[in-house]
Amino acid sequence: MDFPEQLEVIIEVPRGGFIKRKDDGAVDFVSPFPCPFNYGSVPDTVSGDGDRLDALVLGPASARGTRVVCAVVGRVRFIDAGLEDPKYICSARALSAEERLRVERFFTFYARAKRALNLLRGKRGETAYRGIELKPHS
């Protein structure tokens, strides 16, 4: 899978937020701790799980619904109920060691929580965080 140069991202969970909502406004996921980055999706795309491609946007908090265009610096490899569900990492600069650690910690925890939620929702198949791929330098 190639890395795009940049993506337009619609922010769904602002940095510091706790609640991820579906397009219809219904609550999809409530985190027990604040999201360490802005979390959103890429319009007019479809990921392996049938939803839009996910993207994290590093930097200051952006309001829910904000559209931002930003450079892609990497990708979180994630499996959701047996389906590929990558999350692009967007930032104005390269991922720092501290940012990488925050992303890794978040998705390690998120995978456990999402696995339990999938079981409650009757979804089967592996749910796991598989690491970070950094975009090769051009």
Residue 1 covered by a domain: no
- Residue range 74-93: average pLDDT? 95
pLDDT at 138: 46
Domain of 109? Answer: 6-134
Residue 49 covered by a domain: yes
Note the pLDDT tens digit of each residue in 11-66. 999 999 999 887 788 888 888 789 999 999 999 999 888 889 999 999 999 999 99
pTM of the model: 0.91
**Any idea what the CATH number is for the domain that residue 105 is in?**
3.90.80.10
Residues 6 or more apart in contact with residue 38 via CB below 8 angstroms = 9, 11, 13, 14, 15, 56, 57, 58, 59, 61, 62, 68
Nearest to 80 by CA among 44, 53, 41: 53
- Residue range 95-108: average pLDDT? 94
| Number of domains, the chain | 1
